[in-house]
Amino acid sequence: MNGAPVLDLATLRSGCSHCSLQQLCLPAGISPDELQRLDEIVRRRRPIERGERLYRAGDPLAAVFVARDGAFKTVSISEEGEEQVIGFHLPGELIGLDALGAGSHRCEAIALTEANVCEVPFEQLAVVAAQLPSLQQQLLRVIGQSVGRDQDHLGILVRRQAGERIALFLHGLSERYRNIGQPATQFKLPMSREDIARYLGLALETVSRGFTRLQEDGVIDVVGRRIDILKPAELNRLAHSAEHDEPKRRGRA
């Protein structure tokens, strides 16, 4: 658990063109010389600690962020002070779009782990995007992907069975890890059971039980936040075609 990783200065210094996330992030599909324009406005921020906020609800839209590593959650606080989790953000995924509509943030973005982020001042991004059609295109695509993730989230929440939601959650997370080139069947959850519960609209006990149930069924192996997906196909099945299949029969024959 030497959690605070050795600070890779080279990584911090080097720009988008050397970033491993290049093909997933704003620079995707942008020519090298154009990339430099983008690179000039991107600020590589110092490491963020766990629990630190990138912005708070109500803050004016100043910049959007992308994690190079680590993970974030965005939460909105209801009038009663309840925290509801709007989304989780893995490396390469844009953070801060919740302010696009009104010009100020609806959510807070909180680091779930130590992380390094790139900060892109929004005004400048807009200006450069207007000048570089391929950047504009990629910006819209990245925004669209974010919309897509929100819709996936909606798709999880309308499922009424807790087990389905949990399977869908794990499946989706696994896919996202695969996308960024990390192991898709073995990973450490960056978020707590409570975060997951507030993301899925369930009680945290229900999430816990859901995990144990999946473990009992041999689909996954869980130890605290360590997840090992033993039967990806089965998880996929549970996530999609529901549990209608084996309704009563627990012990398999």
Partner DNA sequence: CGGCCTGTTGATTAGAATCAACCAAAGTGG
Partner DNA sequence: CCACTTTGGTTGATTCTAATCAACAGGCCG
Binding partner of residue 84 among DNA, a second copy, none, CB cut-off 5 to 8 Å per kind: a second copy
Give the end-to-end CA distance of the chain in Å, rounded to a whole number.
43
In the list 116, 138, 146, 174, the residue contacting a second copy (rule: CB under 8 A) is: 146
Counting contacts by CB under 7 A, is residue 82 touching DNA? Answer: no
Query: In the set 157, 184, 204, 230, which binds DNA (CB under 7 A)?
Result: 204
| Sheet (strand 116-121) strand order | 43-44, 116-121, 63-69, 94-95
In sequence order, the 6+-apart residues with CB closer than 8 A to the CB of 105 are 55, 56, 57, 58, 59, 60, 61, 96, 98, 99
Q: Which string of DSSP letters, residue by residue, matches 191-222?
A: S-HHHHHHHHTS-HHHHHHHHHHHHHTTSEEE
The contacts of residue 50 (CB under 8 Å, 6+ apart) are 111, 112, 113, 114
Residues 87-126 that bind a second copy (CB under 8 A): 97-103, 106-107, 126
Near a second copy by CB under 8 A: residue from 130, 212, 221, 228: 130
57 touches DNA by CB under 7 A: no
Site membership for DNA, residue 188 (CB under 7 A) = no
* Near a second copy in 156-185, by CB under 8 A: 157-160
- Helices then strands, each counted (H, E), the chain: 8, 11
Among 32, 81, 101, 224, the residue binding DNA under the rule CB under 7 A is 224
Pick from 95, 202, 219, 229 the residue near DNA by CB under 7 A.
202
Asked if residue 246 binds a second copy (CB under 8 A), the reply is no
Residue ranges that bind DNA, judged by CB under 7 A: 1, 160-163, 192-194, 201-209, 211-212, 222, 224-225, 247
